[in-house]
Amino acid sequence: MINPSTPRILTVGRSPQSDIVIDNKKVSSNHAQFKILNNEIILKDVGSTNGTYVNGEKITSLKVTVNDTITFSKNHTFDWKQLEELLKTDQTVKSKGAERVHTKIKGKDVITIGRSSDNDLVINNIKVSRKHAKLEKYLGEWYVEDLGSSNGTFLNGEKISRARITPKDVLTIGGIPLNIEKLFAAQKEIKGDIQIAANNITFRVKDKIIVDDIGLTILPGEFVGLIGPSGAGKTSLMMMMNGVVRPSQGDVFINSQSLYSNFDLFKGQIGYVPQDDIIHRELKVQESFTYTGKLRLDKYSNEEIATQVDTVLDTLGIDDTRNTLIGSAEKKGISGGQRKRVNLGQELLTEPSVLFLDEPTSGLDPKTDLDVMYLLKGIAAKGKIVILTTHNITKENFEILSHLIVLSKGGKLAYFGEANKAADYFQVDKPYEIFGKLETNGPNYWKEKFRNAPEYKKFVAARKESTIETKPTEVSAAPSRKADMKQFLTLTGRFFKIKLRDRVSTAILLLQAPIIAALIALVFDDASEKTAALFILVIAAVWLGCSNAAREIVSEQAIFKRERMVNLKIPSYLFSKVTVLMLLCFVQCAILAGIVVPSLNMESSFLSMFFLLLLTSLPSLLLGLFVSSLVSTSEAAMGLIPLILIPQVILGGLITIFGNMNVFEKVIAAFLTTRWSFEALNILEYSGLE
């Protein structure tokens, strides 16, 4: 007989980390949970793909008893004995388990730490190596030693190879801080619980306050919504809490350690999904995850990355789309809801403990909106922190969220507490009426009202004392951003595949060369016009180089910014662009030379003409990439190309001969590619030099 007297939550799913594991492909990795409280058992679906059913009816949350028939995904009937046995085992563990684990670890002089199950202390996170580190007792003192891990071992924020450790130190493994005083009493397996605290953070732009003195703490397993009217500082608060923007004053703490002083230490534990897509539409779903895995988990084998990709596909419930093109509105691929999941999956690959999302359900229909919300709730149920901004203020979403942050204008904290009690706090019937209520009084009124409310004492003041560390920490050195050959090869392979898949755009770029060459051959068929033909060839090479590259950075700026936040190295990124685009220029210049040289009976050989045109297109390609990095839209980039091209035409040496230019014109012309390329082609053609 099940005794539901002890409060606890048990997870159900296909994942090995679930409390109740169901080996069925139709069951989601994180499918449902039993909440045992006050002698009742509540069954809740946590965003499963195929649903949870009680007595044949699909449910989201329902009180159940042993007399009910529970079915997961319609084809797996739950055996109540699994829950009964687990609860019996749990009672034994409660009385003896902690001491048993404590004795097992404490009695050893060497304690191994890692991801594989044969370690003394298992940390179930992809950023932790299989054999990561070890604690060793020597002459009565404990030492920690890194075992050649991929992501390093940190002691009090400093990377170490071997160092003495005391109970007051903070040991960080794979971005997960471990309290040494509690280490020996811990369970054998640690999932990496992390809490995040904003300690009175303020953000100013000149004299304007965007976020005003906000302090709050978010605990593991909490699914937090962040709402407020336009101009309330929602995005600014989120960007400060995820470490992208440093506050004007205050700090953000991860398990009592400063995020800003140790950003490189914690960056793998923080995931951020912007509102814009961070995926390439030309890739298939599995390819997108694989390339992201190779970039972010660059020290892991292809087999480990493939396993992680499979896990994420399964967790998101999109395994059936793995070989489907992501696509876009113009080129149909996966659905809008699936696109949101793929965006989310880019972050889940590194198993972050804190996940920030900016409007993750924008543009989705109501059903898909709820599906994504339940998915995120399921992620939070695994002990993660999930924080999102949203404008979809509905009763259903407030029931799904565990907590809610409400900002009033001026970035003032108007509420932080349980989401399903927010409407009562603001004395409104419907959640969306909160915005109207905020307009009835000034921002300072709501700030002071909350500071005097019981919710403030419970969710802000009571949490603050146990999370903020007062001892200062030194600012960590900036991570190395030197060129990386492995990253360069990954980026080059991804970009090359994208260009091949984008057949229309690539075909248009390639067709320009034969069209231009054919026109030159038709128009400049007289020997006296050969000089003009050479000049047009130079202009064509400059145009092709610029137009090939002008949209390549700006068109993926959201992806670039997100990857740059993690570990993207600019030299690797830039050289990958240059390598692939140079191949395109190579083909274009070969077509130009291959058509024009024989058609106009040029004295120059094909190889010499091709080589000079290729040399002309290279600086133009780099100029195009530079323009692409300066603007915010592809249209603006292409609009600047004529402004670059016109001086090249006027001062290139044909319209005005270089010798007839004044000093100022000559100085400007000296910096232009066309001036030197045109002269080189003339020398090549008329002096007989090959």
Residue 611, judged by CB atoms within 10 A of its CB (0-12, 13-18, 19+), counts as middle
pLDDT tens digit sequence for 385-400: 999 998 888 888 888 9
pTM of the full predicted structure? Answer: 0.78
pLDDT score of 91 more than 60 = no
pLDDT score of 627 more than 90 = yes
Residue bearing tokens 């058509």:
595
- For residue 539, the model assigns a pLDDT of 95
Segments making up each domain of the chain, as ranges: 8-91, 110-185, 196-460, 485-687
Q: Sorting pLDDT into bands at 50, 70 and 90, what band is 469?
A: very low
- For residue 476, the model assigns a pLDDT of 47
- For residue 32, the model assigns a pLDDT of 85
Residue bearing tokens 């937090």:
224
Nearest to 533 by CA among 411, 678, 365, 674: 678
DSSP-assigned beta bridge partners for residue 199: 251
Q: 416 phi and psi, to 5 degrees?
A: -145, 115
150 vs 166: CA distance, rounded Å: 24
Query: Between 282 and 473, where is the model more confident?
Result: 282
pLDDT score of 376 more than 70 = yes
- For residue 337, the model assigns a pLDDT of 84
Query: Between 266 and 506, where is the model more confident?
Result: 506
Residues comprising the chain, all counted: 690
164 vs 35: CA distance, rounded Å: 43
Residues 6+ apart with CB under 8 A from 21: 13, 14, 15
- DSSP symbol at 478: P
pLDDT tens digit sequence for 412-424: 999 999 999 999 9
pLDDT tens digit sequence for 196-206: 999 999 999 88
Structure token digits, residue 329: 């509105």
Mean pLDDT of 530-551: 94
Q: Are 572 and 483 in contact (CB under 8 A)?
A: yes
Which CATH architecture does the domain made up of 196-460 adopt?
Answer: 3-Layer(aba) Sandwich (3.40)
pLDDT score of 94 more than 50 = no
Structure token digits, residue 587: 């083909």
Mean pLDDT of 221-245: 91
- For residue 190, the model assigns a pLDDT of 52
> What DSSP element (H or E) covers 135?
strand 133-138
Q: Are 215 and 201 in contact (CB under 8 A)?
A: yes
- For residue 95, the model assigns a pLDDT of 37
110-185 and 196-460 agree in CATH topology: no
Residue 31, judged by CB atoms within 10 A of its CB (0-12, 13-18, 19+), counts as buried
State the fold for domain 110-185.
Answer: Tumour Suppressor Smad4 (2.60.200)
Least confident range of 138-147, 169-178, 492-501? 169-178
Q: In the predicted model, what is the mean pLDDT of the chain?
A: 85
CATH number for domain 8-91, candidates 2.60.200.20, 3.40.50.11260, 3.40.50.1100, 2.60.40.10: 2.60.200.20
Q: Specify the amino acid at residue 496.
A: F
pLDDT tens digit sequence for 628-669: 999 999 999 999 999 989 999 999 888 888 888 889 999 999
Mean pLDDT of 666-677: 92
- For residue 473, the model assigns a pLDDT of 44
336 vs 281: CA distance, rounded Å: 12
- DSSP symbol at 527: G
Q: Sorting pLDDT into bands at 50, 70 and 90, what band is 192?
A: low
Burial 259-274 (b: 16+ CB within 10 A, else e): bbbbbbbbbbbbbbbb
Structure token digits, residue 233: 């500082």
pLDDT score of 461 more than 50 = yes
pLDDT score of 480 more than 60 = no
Query: Between 466 and 132, where is the model more confident?
Result: 132
Nearest 5°: CA angle at 231, between 227 and 237? 60
Q: 146 phi and psi, to 5 degrees?
A: -75, 140
pLDDT score of 564 more than 70 = yes
Mean pLDDT of 357-365: 86
Mean pLDDT of 553-579: 91
261 vs 4: CA distance, rounded Å: 45
Q: Are strands 354-358 and 270-273 parallel, antiparallel or unpaired?
A: parallel
pLDDT score of 99 more than 60 = no
Q: Sorting pLDDT into bands at 50, 70 and 90, what band is 30?
A: confident
Residue bearing tokens 């050893």:
108
Helices (H), 93-135: 98-106
241 vs 407: CA distance, rounded Å: 15
- For residue 98, the model assigns a pLDDT of 32
Q: Are 423 and 431 in contact (CB under 8 A)?
A: yes
pLDDT score of 103 more than 80 = no
Mean pLDDT of 332-339: 84
- For residue 470, the model assigns a pLDDT of 41
- For residue 107, the model assigns a pLDDT of 67
3-class DSSP state for residue 417?
strand
Q: Are 385 and 467 in contact (CB under 8 A)?
A: no
pLDDT tens digit sequence for 307-323: 899 888 888 888 889 99
Q: Are 318 and 338 in contact (CB under 8 A)?
A: yes
- For residue 117, the model assigns a pLDDT of 77
CA 676 remoteness from chain centre: 44
